[in-house]
Chain A
């Protein structure tokens, strides 16, 4: 995966929010993962600067925090695009051709899985089964779900967000 090249641009408001989250969970058993979830909700990703704040706040070694962040697929060290495209690679979607959808998106956007377009507009992920197998093959763009797709539907979907 590509390393994050954008400098960290956290705001004081975000920091205050994070501090509050840390204060709420302090002393709770097994607090690290819930705090990381909320921190990612605040910043959109978990750069090392954020991990440092959590390490200090919860009094957990930074190495341990980093170990947890890199272990779980949902935690991201890189910023995500404004529109996060997730192509479901669950078995039901795969046997119905989601691999072809993924290739088409890569071709149009010129990025690989886990990357973000240079303008910050789109990022692409191959997601685990999202459980909408009845609609396979499925992709999501942020909260929107598109089902029963064929490769020819892809350009239209991307154009729709490009225009926004």
Chain B
């Protein structure tokens, strides 16, 4: 093996790829060559570092210099100054790592974004090259599988997982060890399956994608362990086709594992066989529901099946099937290697371990974070996330995607775990965490999610198919200023009917965004129906623009910008807006230099 004196780690996750990391890598390789450094410095394309907002990201070791928002033009300077002469290019560093008046740089662990984090599922993301199995093996990869196959009985593996208290990370939070035990207990005369749910459909969630892109082998290894524990020999990973990089890296990883004999026949000479195949989704949110997912793998429409029988008894092709989510699997090898007691020591009483969140929306450090269960929302938003941009006020956080709810500002000190979130009407979900500020309208957000579920309802059962549509129509009416107070009661009544009457998780949780916003932001709904106002200024039909005469200098800039000629007046005198003509495009507000135009 060759040794290099320095390593340049470039993030190759979807976020950084979108901001152009490929060109950075190419330029880096060219510049290294031009300076005769190609043998001394190794360039590694890794998985996600988490700080997507600062992409493309580059870390140079051994110094640990963290360069952010790197541009192709910057590469030359980094090579010539840092790599050739050993002088860190300070002005290109992520500013939080720079220490004033000192040449020392702060290590990443001291940066606020990483300080509260604890990386278990993401341990290798941003550390290893996901396309090289040797790097995974060097970080204890496939050691857990070796241990399980040579030293443990299947029942012992299940006991460890049960003991650890691990719960499903896909949203529901069902104890993973129990699921394994049920599947193991089912008769497997005609074969059993293990499957991985990588159909991460919640808008604003990208945890699973990042794990698959950054550390695909951790999921493959865990699936092999699960297969051994429950007595299966065939596995499927069902992944969204919208994640091309993850699909490609998973396929590379599967091929490499086969080549090394870590998948296939007689693994570790133990007589255990396991084969793994990828199945691509085709853009249907409902396929994240376990029975719908199985129908889709079987090549049918992804419609859910009634339960029971549960997949552990009758799953894929009517055979017992174990289905876990990507992040759940990503914890397994660490639990096997470090023991159940280690895992139990992290988190809260009923929620053990860590949880990965995709932080998005109105927050400074958008990206991927992993924190121990029980961390409060405030710590995630204010410390890890770096707060709300532009000095705006925090209004609500949305967790659980279309199945979850909005958590209002007064509950910001809620510890994040399965049960506390349920208690306040939201849910853990798969881990999307969208932050909203005072400029977001809660009725509009509820409508946004309902539009999503109307579109994604598979149509099999009536409460969901028709109920969500009716919910959407009422919300639409309210945002247009045609709602009544009775509509609010109707929303509530209908929501409960849909929750109780729907066949699968999609319908049973679809009304949650409505119920939680109604509960916590009822005054905002009331403002829409009674005062016909949208306090956040989002719902166009309820907006009107006006000019504050005292502030208007009469420059006519707004009148010239107005596309419909709704603004009139004499130069150097206050102008006025004709609200009948106004189409509420907002162009005048952006144009006015004196802040004289207000909406409300």
Chain A interface residues (CB < 8 Å from chain B): 29-34, 36-37, 64, 67-68, 71-75, 89-92, 94-96, 127-136, 138, 145, 147
B-chain residues with CB within 8 Å of residue A34 when the two chains form the complex = 279-280
Question: Known interface pairs A68-B301, A71-B301. Does A33 touch B279 (Cβ–Cβ under 8 Å)?
Answer: yes
Question: Known interface pairs A71-B458, A131-B242, A134-B367. Does A145 touch B18 (Cβ–Cβ under 8 Å)?
Answer: yes
Q: How far is the CA of A1 from the CA of B281 in the complex (A)?
A: 22
Minimum distance in angstroms from B55 CB to a CB of chain A: 7
Minimum distance in angstroms from B487 CB to a CB of chain A: 23
B-chain residues with CB within 8 Å of residue A145 when the two chains form the complex = 17-18
In the complex, are the beta carbons of B282 and A130 less than 8 A apart?
Answer: no
Q: How far is the CA of A136 from the CA of B201 in the complex (A)?
A: 17
In the complex, are the beta carbons of B280 and A37 less than 8 A apart?
Answer: yes
Which of A30, A72, A91, A135 has the most chain B CB atoms inside 10 A of its CB?
A91
Query: Which of under 10, 10 to 19, 20 to 34, or 35 or more describes the interface residues of B?
Result: 35 or more
Minimum distance in angstroms from A65 CB to a CB of chain B: 10
Query: 12 A-B pairs, CB-CB below 8 angstroms?
Result: A34-B279, A71-B284, A71-B302, A72-B281, A72-B282, A72-B283, A91-B204, A91-B449, A128-B242, A128-B285, A131-B200, A132-B206
Contact mask for chain B residues 111-136; partner A; CB cutoff 8 A; 1 contact, 0 none = 00000000000000000000000000
In the complex, are the beta carbons of B434 and A95 less than 8 A apart?
Answer: yes
In the complex, are the beta carbons of A30 and B360 less than 8 A apart?
Answer: no
Q: How far is the CA of A91 from the CA of B317 in the complex (A)?
A: 35
Query: Chain B residue with minimal CB distance to A72?
Result: B282
Partner-binding segment picked from B142-150, B291-299, B322-330, B412-420 = B291-299
Q: Does B205 contact A (CB under 8 A)?
A: yes
Q: Does B289 contact A (CB under 8 A)?
A: no
Chain B interface residues (CB < 8 Å from chain A): 14-15, 17-19, 51-53, 55, 200-206, 209, 241-243, 279-285, 296-302, 317, 358, 360-362, 366-367, 398, 401, 432, 434, 436, 440, 445, 448-449, 458
In the complex, are the beta carbons of B284 and A73 less than 8 A apart?
Answer: yes
In the complex, are the beta carbons of A72 and B242 less than 8 A apart?
Answer: no
Q: How far is the CA of A134 from the CA of B201 in the complex (A)?
A: 17
Question: Known interface pairs A31-B299, A68-B300, A132-B14. Does A74 touch B283 (Cβ–Cβ under 8 Å)?
Answer: yes
In the complex, are the beta carbons of B201 and A128 less than 8 A apart?
Answer: yes
In the complex, are the beta carbons of B203 and A129 less than 8 A apart?
Answer: yes
In the complex, are the beta carbons of A72 and B284 less than 8 A apart?
Answer: yes
Query: Chain A residue with minimal CB distance to B439?
Result: A95
Which of B279, B280, B300 has the most chain A CB atoms inside 10 A of its CB?
B300
B-chain residues with CB within 8 Å of residue A127 when the two chains form the complex = 242
Q: How far is the CA of A135 from the CA of B11 in the complex (A)?
A: 15
Query: Chain B residue with minimal CB distance to A89?
Result: B203
In the A-B complex, the 10 residue pairs with the smallest Cβ-Cβ separation, listed nearest first, are A134-B52, A92-B360, A73-B283, A72-B282, A30-B299, A74-B283, A131-B206, A90-B203, A91-B204, A145-B18
A-chain residues with CB within 8 Å of residue B432 when the two chains form the complex = 91
In the complex, are the beta carbons of B362 and A95 less than 8 A apart?
Answer: yes
In the complex, are the beta carbons of A147 and B18 less than 8 A apart?
Answer: yes
A-chain residues with CB within 8 Å of residue B205 when the two chains form the complex = 129, 131
Q: How far is the CA of A132 from the CA of B398 in the complex (A)?
A: 18
In the complex, are the beta carbons of B52 and A133 less than 8 A apart?
Answer: yes
B-chain residues with CB within 8 Å of residue A75 when the two chains form the complex = 282-283
In the complex, are the beta carbons of B300 and A91 less than 8 A apart?
Answer: no
In the complex, are the beta carbons of A92 and B280 less than 8 A apart?
Answer: no
Question: Known interface pairs A33-B299, A91-B432. Does A136 touch B366 (Cβ–Cβ under 8 Å)?
Answer: yes
Minimum distance in angstroms from A16 CB to a CB of chain B: 23
Q: How far is the CA of A72 from the CA of B206 in the complex (A)?
A: 21
In the complex, are the beta carbons of A95 and B203 less than 8 A apart?
Answer: no
Q: How far is the CA of A34 from the CA of B239 in the complex (A)?
A: 12
Query: Chain B residue with minimal CB distance to A133?
Result: B360
Q: How far is the CA of A29 from the CA of B317 in the complex (A)?
A: 9
Q: How far is the CA of A163 from the CA of B302 in the complex (A)?
A: 41
A-chain residues with CB within 8 Å of residue B285 when the two chains form the complex = 128
In the complex, are the beta carbons of B366 and A147 less than 8 A apart?
Answer: no
In the complex, are the beta carbons of A135 and B284 less than 8 A apart?
Answer: no
